[in-house]
Structure 1
Amino acid sequence: MPTLLIQNCSVLVVPETGECRVDESQDILITDGKIASITPTVPQAPADDLETLDATGLLAVPGLINAHTHSPMVMMRGAAEDLSIDNWFNQKIWPMEMNLTPERVRVGARLACAEMLLAGVTTFVDHYFHAEQIAQVAIELGIRANLAPTFFTSTGPESREAAFEAARQIRALGNNRVTASLGPHAPYTVSEEDLRRTAEVAQSENFRIHLHAAETQDQTTSSQSQHGATPIQILHRTGILESGALIAHACGLVNEDLPLLAEYADRTTIATCPKVYLKLAMGPTTPIKQLQSANVPVAIGTDGAAVHNTLDLWESLRLTALTQKHQEQDAEWMSLSQTLRLATRNGAQASHQNTGTLTPGRQADITLVDLSSPHNQPLHNPLAALVYSIRPTDVVHVVVDGEVVVHDRTLTTADLTEILTQANGVAHTLVDLTKPGAVQRYAP
């Protein structure tokens, strides 16, 4: 792997606590896929073994981490609108997913990975079917991914064991950019017996678990009525929390859940996807303030584009700040630095990667943005621009694991026109509702 020098950029520094800052006129030296040094810019003659990237006028930020998504669902973008959450699942999405095939998942994953890379996302944490196809696409396009093959109890123990085997196969690829987790769908679609089995495999084979839980207050109330326990209490008594879990949404938490999450705060991360909660009128959003008081880290995701419409993490980041201020009725809460930390450092915890900050020793996942466009000017505060003004089109270069995968707003690892042509050629087959049945029924 050649040595890469990113020359003359500004650098976003994201400390573990406190305020973020921007250091001007810096050079970032990358060797063996890791950041070797960040030093003030000095003129130097190019060396034969040194690849250089002129970043004059650009701001380097830690590569964004999409902490929860279903990437192939880009193929259903815009096909399930203006619906309640139960009708969204039962009338549209789960019937559409009867049409999934490995090839269609691969085509959707290529489009999703292209969209994310061009928008500055360097890692995504995915939860979907045919995850081995997504793994191959991630390797092809050069994006970092943690993939959790999905299963429901309703499809039987063979489906559960096949999902576990898919995770093993992804791990066996031996690619440092692509890792695997176990992916039970949720406590309302996966039995306690299957959750216990998942926890056993996770602990014996050193997997983490990625699942949905307590998505809404209604789900929590229903769980208490049916099972005498909240979804989080079910995760506790089945060993999921002990195993280490990334929990998507957690909007329906109640007070008795917090001590359980706090007990396993060293191995638990919550992923919040606020646009989805607004669009499906799901009620309160993820209670980040209470979770942080329990020392439980929260990261930011987009969920799938079938509901979020984009895989734009900048948008999710912005909406996280806005919805948190509104929910807490506190304009000083969820500051610029707090918000940026969720999308970088906390995202690294969610994906279990040595990324999330631009510091020596970390993997070199770097997004270089241009804040000179009118919607970012005048630039009184670059942190404010990153949270409230920036657009995906402001992303100029993207580096993953020391490799330039987006150069001058263009993918270097794949042909975008070919990806779009392929996706548009098969998208209609995914949204076809003429096939009877559904992969599952939403009735928590």
Structure 2
Amino acid sequence: MLLSKLLIEGATVVTMDAENHVYAPGDIICEDERLVYVGPSQQRLAWQPDRVIRGEGKVALPGFINAHTHAAMTLLRSYADDLALKPWLEEKIWPLEARLTPEAVYWGTLLACLEMLEAGVTTFADMYFYSEETAQAVTESGLRADLAPGLTGTTPDADKRLAAAADFVRRRQRSAAGRITARLGPHAPYTCPRPFLSDVVAAAKELGCGIHIHLAETSAEVQELQAQTGFTPVGLLHEILGREGPVPVLAAHCVHLSGQDMAYLKADGIGVAHNPGSNLKLASGLAPLAALLEAGVKVGLGTDGAASNNNLDVLEEARLAALLPKLATGDPAAVPARAALRSATLGGAEALGLESRIGSLEEGKQADLVLLDEGRAHLVPRHDVISRVVYSARAGDVDTVLVAGRILLEHGRPTTLDRAKILSEAQKQAEKLVG
């Protein structure tokens, strides 16, 4: 449902802008796809909206951004749990992924879109296979997505796959009315040897796009690459970027970093997708989030795939992002609630290079936003709104979601997706995979 003039009236509006404005009560006006007013509630005698949403008892926030996931891995949720990354990948996930079909990826992605929509996620960054089917699911859902066809350089057809991925980027960049952006997705330095990774970076530069890559996820990965090449994963990418030319990079995980690595991330303008839930579940380690933020690195939050998390709830990631550094550093203020919420919104937009369009509620930006219902016992009393969102709110509190001014979730119910059909078809596809 796209309304040309929509007024959200009387909500507690958390803008996440540079001045950290919170308006209580506040109003939001959307015209077509954009925000044209965000500020204190005021009387309007001459202006008539097409629709008014009463915001009393609601918190309005920028839509949450899932900066790293593998959407169709919803089909593998709960299939291979309680394993470290290497055996999880090599013994369980990769053999099953070899059996994936385009139809499976389509329905698995629709399931992910439904789950993220119900959790207030309006944008996600995906790296996976059968990207055309992923794009089709995104188009139907109404969500915004940054899509990267997954690439490895260790197979005989690696160059052919790179050419196909480049073609996908050309065709899908700014598709779905501008809601889809595209980049190349080299999996990681340990699956993309140095010459192939150089080719990917060179191709991205030629295409004018970025890359999405896993970096420094485990200590074993770092040690093995250093033994083979003399570089850390971040150091190797820095060397390639310096030689092939700068391209935008979205780097997932970045758990095991040296001070020099963090300096490279900052110098190269690399956006980091921090995945605390997945890192915990796979025992990959505690990423130095406080140090990354202190160094001025762009940091967003990701869930990773639902096979290693096991959900796509960015609010949960924000809570972990705030809590884990307190334990790791012994400092309860290491990553305060506001910094964690920023990583779930504007920080994610910065990591994706989309901060001029999304990530905060500011006039001129896209009307991507979420309304949380404050009428829940765990959100009362209403003291600091940022603390309540980060430390108390849940995905089930999401009431309304808009993307580009279109209502995709209303009173907790999707308007663009057939929930029952998606759940049924995704179950069938999952059973085919594991059967």
Q: State the TM-score, normalizing by the size of structure 2.
A: 0.94
Q: CA deviation at 1:47?
A: 7.0
The C-alpha deviation readout for 1:37-80, integer Å capped at 9, x for no partner, is 12433455797762322222111001000010001000111001
Could you tell me which amino acid in structure 1 is paired with residue 317 of structure 2? S
Amino acid paired to 2:100: L
Deviation at residue 151 of structure 1 after TM alignment: 0.9
Deviation string, structure 1 residues 310-362 (Cα, Å, up to 9, x no partner)? 00111111111111111222111100111111111111112322111111011
Tell me, yes or no, if the aligned pair for 1:363 and 1:402 is still in contact at 8 Å. Answer: yes
Q: Relative to structure 1, is the Cα distance of residues 272 and 134 closer, same or farther in structure 2, using a 3 angstrom cutoff?
A: same
Taking a change above 3 Å as real, the CA distance of residues 396 and 178 of structure 1, as seen in their structure-2 partners, is same
Q: How many residues align?
A: 427
In 2, distance between residues paired with 1:336 and 1:59?
A: 16
CA distance in 2, matches of 1:46, 1:401: 25
CA deviation string 1:258-290 (max 9, x = no partner): 23222213xx1111111111111112x221222
Any idea what the Cα deviations from partners look like across 1:15-35, whole Å, max 9, x if unmatched? Answer: 337xx4531122211113110
| Distance in 2 of aligned mates of 1:69 and 1:241 | 27
Alignment of 1:137-152 (within 5 A): 137-152=137-152
**Among residues 150, 166, 169, which one is paired with 1:167 in the alignment?**
169
1:233 to 208, 232, 235: 235
* Equivalent position of 1:288 in the other structure: 289
Whether 1:408 aligns to 2:418 is: no
Aligned to 2:160: 158
- The aligned residue for residue 391 of structure 2 is 388
**Partner residue of 1:418?**
421
The answer to whether the Cα contact below 8 Å between 2:271 and 2:352 also exists between their aligned partners in 1 is no
Map 1:250-265 onto structure 2 (within 5 A).
250-265=254-269
Counterpart CA distance in 2 for 1:4 and 1:237 is 49
For 2:229 and 2:132, how far apart are their aligned partners in 1?
Answer: 34
The 8 Å contact of residues 33 and 401 in structure 1, kept in 2 or not, is answered as yes
The 3-state SS of whatever aligns with 2:311 is coil
Residue 246 of structure 1: how far off its partner (Å)? 0.5
Tell me the distance in 1 between the aligned counterparts of 2:332 and 2:178: 41
1:86-130 CA deviation, whole Å, 9 max, x = no partner?
221122111110111111000000000011011100000111111
Decide whether the 8 Å contact of 1:336 with 1:384 is kept in 2: yes
Report if aligned partners of 1:64, 1:122 keep a CA contact under 8 Å in 2.
yes
1:431 corresponds, among 402, 427, 434, to: 434
Unmatched segments (≥5 aa) in structure 2: none
Q: Report the Cα distance in structure 2 between the residues aligned to 1:46 and 1:94, rounded to whole angstroms.
A: 60
Structure 1 length as normaliser, TM-score?
A: 0.92
**Aligned partners of 2:401 and 2:304: how far apart in 1?**
22
Note the 1:59-208 alignment, pairs <5 A.
59-155=59-155, 156-171=158-173, 173=175, 175-208=177-210
Deviations 1:209-228 (A, max 9, x none): 11101111221111110111
For residues 292 and 242 of structure 1, the distance between their equivalents in structure 2, rounded to whole angstroms, comes to: 22
Q: What amino acid is aligned across from residue 316 of structure 1 in structure 2?
A: E
Q: Aligned AA for 1:341?
A: R
Distance in 1 (alpha carbons) for counterparts of 2:82 and 2:266: 36
For 1:334, the aligned partner's letter is V
Give the letter for the 2:383 counterpart: H
Give the percent of matched residue pairs that are identical in Structure 1 and Structure 2.
38
CA contact (8 A) 1:218 1:252 kept: no
Residue deviations 1:129-161, cap 9 Å, x none? 111111111111100000000011122211222
Measure, in 2, the Cα distance between the counterparts of 1:258 and 1:314. Answer: 26
Q: CA separation in 2, counterparts of 1:154 and 1:217?
A: 22
Answer with 234-243 or 387-396: which moved more. 234-243
- 1:255 offset after TM fit, Å? 2.5
Q: Does the residue aligned with 2:228 lie in a helix, a strand or coil?
A: helix
Unaligned runs of 5+ in 1: 433-444
Corresponding position of 2:329: 328
Contact preservation (8 Å) 2:216, 2:222: yes
Provide the rounded CA distance (Å) in 2 between the counterparts of 1:128 and 1:322: 30
**Are the counterparts in 2 of residues 217 and 253 from structure 1 also a CA contact under 8 Å?**
no
Q: Say which SS state the counterpart of residue 83 (structure 1) adopts.
A: coil
| Alignment-mate amino acid for residue 258 of structure 1 | M
Q: 1:46–1:52: 8 Å Cα contact kept in structure 2?
A: no
Task: Look up the equivalent residue of 1:226 and give its one-letter code.
Answer: Q
Deviates more, 1:50-59 or 1:359-368: 50-59
Q: Give the root-mean-square deviation of aligned CA atoms.
A: 1.8
